[in-house]
Structure 1
């Protein structure tokens, strides 16, 4: 068509050709402007919500947010309201625009707000404080002229699915609760299960994943660096009698969905809750957004370089239709969908065995460090006072070095895995990460050094002086203690 138009213009007299060329350019420009105003890039659908910036106070802090208002609310009719409660991390409201718009298009006034930064960090958080922030958001909606104050509830995602139930249990003003990606486990156990999934996804298998799940998690708990590590959601769930919709993505690799759904069902049954609905979204991940395996994100918004994925198929409909039923006074009776298979079961970080008691573990660690580090240090301090030949010197030095590196390296590496969320931990050979492989090699070298030191000392015991004999005895004692320690930390397992 374009070629024919050019050919026709060439056959036209010069003046007419100039006039026509200008007319065509004007027509193209007008069409482009019209296309920009009605096309996808600039379109504004009739059901797009109205956005209103708001601020409110909680514990002396000003929190800022956006209220997404249904177009129908402009007529003066009161609508149900919902407050979106953030997942873990900084929690800017921009990450929840897709949910906010979906609720608003369904006739639900929605508040998305920026999470507090004061009193919230990687190593500091208080679920009760966050719950008070969420309740302040509820009050912000309840006083609006376009909101029915008796029909305001929560939507809580991930960490917010611990916070929102706590807030709902604190106030009778909360009408309903929706959760997505909720964990029925304590935060540290849930994070450990997620780490195991990430490691498996990167080809890591065998003993290292077990070391992360149990001795590593127990160590992390002891440090006190993991905030709200032992928070138990069950007592709060057992107090909820308001309508609850608990939703998980089919491919949720963060919240142990099968286990968590069972915890929710049992706890809400004990609460006597007659309106607890448990649902699963096909083709959706932890946040209810589209994914192929729980690790990728398909479509959707990109916020701060972070892909969110498009809302999972049916995810918005499940939530909005349920809230509409509750607001209309027809809260659905309790029901549970069939639970999808969960590949791995979470592990408790302690089996309750005597050797897992904190006193035993830390006494063992102290003895190992003293035994391995003490041999070279005392040798250096007393090198001038020693006399005579020490035939055990080299195997003993080798034992002190390899044992010390294995112990300290294992502790530091597992703490780093938790601190970084397992980033960079990929299989190097035979399902092992490179640092773990090196630690296992170091452990095997320490075992050889234990045997060499003990045999050499026995054969040459007549040549060893009293002071050296004491130092060697402490070193070999540490070596003997190192064997069960290495087994407990899975360093001697495949």
Structure 2
């Protein structure tokens, strides 16, 4: 009988409702361990934050992550603050299956958010008709999409959301980092716009051209949008304007768009937009909680826009690669250049060992050496910029707004071009040594390649 008794006890525990437990470091807030079943069979761990001794019929709010993997504890500060104001707040772990740096689906993430909202609506503390979705950053693309796919959603809150496509937003953000570091010139465009277009062309930038406007136009429920005036990851001025235009086009008459001064992407205090304080901008938590409570009570405020963003530069369109820019064309050029420059050294080395053939002209040696250095060094440096850019970028020593390392590579590239011209003249006059075609062909291809990647631009 013992195994039967153990099984019955386990079944009883599994079916028992989750009970709030007092949060040890958040007085006045209780936590409930829950789980969210997704449409594709995953189970996402979740935590519900509610006021201690919470009464039934409270408004509910589901928190949707920004970009990147992360546990639900990442948004604990927001969840605790909202719960203290009387809002039952659910935070769940972001999925890892089907989500990575190079793979994601906003529709799938929206379905996860809708599933979390369904769990929240089933809780006794919550009024089922008063559950909304809060989305931060990337979640600002997901939350409106989730609401448009789940008509039970009562309202939407977005923070640091984008009204432009992800590829356009990412390019703008990285340009802002480079300019903040004092970098100007061709390196900025090569390491942002050109680099990301290539990454997208390789299929390594997920959802590059997601259009946020259709889900926003489909929203008929109240929406609260919040931005930091000094947001350097999301263009605050264009995002507010884009949300306003899309919501107006859809006939939404209950949106509130607010921009907080001296606040960064996550609406924490900031001096420059690149530093991040520990405190939320004054009034942010109060705005969210009072707005949610009012909407849940059926008193959604009329549409309004307040605050001014500080956006140093406009975003620019990032079109897909043309055929002549494609990854296959780029790869072919790299292979030919590597074979030409490297093959020249192999042949001349073999000749030196066998003591056969005449010595190669200096221009050929200079071209083969400078071409290899500029090609491999340029790609390595662009990779270094991507790997170290992070929230800010340290370019090291600079001259006239250009990192010295980049200027040195540009100088080597110029040497390669001059050597190509000299070798071309030499070969035109004396075509007896066909080996010279190796670096000469590579040098001819190097010129447009180096222009494309900024090595031959100011």
What range is the shorter-chain TM-score in?
Answer: 0.7 to 0.9
Q: Cα distance, 1:352 vs. partner?
A: 7.5
> Quick check: 1:489 aligned with 2:453?
yes
Match among 399, 411, 436 for residue 406 of structure 2:
436
Partner in structure 2 of residue 51 of structure 1: 31
Partner in structure 1 of residue 286 of structure 2: 317
Partner in structure 1 of residue 257 of structure 2: 278
Check whether the contact 2:26–2:80 (CA below 8 A) recurs between aligned residues.
Answer: no
Q: Deviations over 1:274-307 (max 9, x none)?
A: 2222110122110011111112222xxxxxxxxx
Change (3 A) 1:377 1:334: farther
Q: Deviations over 1:89-109 (max 9, x none)?
A: 232222212211222122211
Partner in structure 2 of residue 267 of structure 1: 246
Match of 2:398, SS state, is: coil
> Quick check: 1:207 aligned with 2:199?
no
Deviates more, 1:400-409 or 1:374-383: 374-383
Partner in structure 1 of residue 7 of structure 2: none
Q: Deviations over 1:104-153 (max 9, x none)?
A: 12221111122223332333323222222211210111011121101101
Q: Distance in 2 between matches of 1:363 and 1:273?
A: 51
Change (3 A) 1:57 1:44: closer
Match among 364, 372, 380 for residue 396 of structure 1:
364
Match of 2:89, SS state, is: strand
Q: Deviations over 1:379-413 (max 9, x none)?
A: 56778999652452x32122123213322333343
Q: Distance in 2 between matches of 1:162 and 1:391?
A: 59
Q: Cα distance, 1:330 vs. partner?
A: 1.9
Partner in structure 2 of residue 239 of structure 1: 218
Check whether the contact 2:32–2:49 (CA below 8 A) recurs between aligned residues.
Answer: yes
> Quick check: 1:406 aligned with 2:363?
no
Q: TM-score, normalised by structure 2?
A: 0.85
Change (3 A) 1:80 1:480: same
Match among 314, 319, 323 for residue 345 of structure 1:
314
Check whether the contact 1:202–1:427 (CA below 8 A) recurs between aligned residues.
Answer: no
Q: Distance in 2 between matches of 1:354 and 1:224?
A: 15
Q: Cα distance, 1:328 vs. partner?
A: 1.5
Q: Deviations over 1:441-471 (max 9, x none)?
A: 3212212322332344455x1xx52xx23x4
Change (3 A) 1:81 1:314: same
Q: How does 1:79-94 map to 2 (within 5 A)?
A: 79-94=58-73
Q: Say how many residue pairs are matched.
A: 432
Match of 1:154, SS state, is: strand
Deviates more, 1:449-458 or 1:140-149: 449-458
Q: Specify every segment of 5 or more residues in structure 2 that has no aligned partner in the other structure, as ranges.
A: 1-23
Partner in structure 2 of residue 151 of structure 1: 130
Q: Distance in 2 between matches of 1:43 and 1:67?
A: 15
Q: Deviations over 1:243-264 (max 9, x none)?
A: 1111111111001111222222
Match of 2:455, SS state, is: coil
Partner in structure 2 of residue 21 of structure 1: none
Match among 27, 42, 51 for residue 70 of structure 1:
51
Q: Cα distance, 1:78 vs. partner?
A: 0.5
Partner in structure 2 of residue 22 of structure 1: none
Q: Distance in 2 between matches of 1:112 and 1:435?
A: 45
RMSD value over aligned CA atoms? Answer: 2.8
Match of 1:56, SS state, is: strand
Q: Distance in 1 between matches of 2:25 and 2:168?
A: 46
Q: Distance in 1 between matches of 2:446 and 2:123?
A: 66
Check whether the contact 2:217–2:246 (CA below 8 A) recurs between aligned residues.
Answer: yes
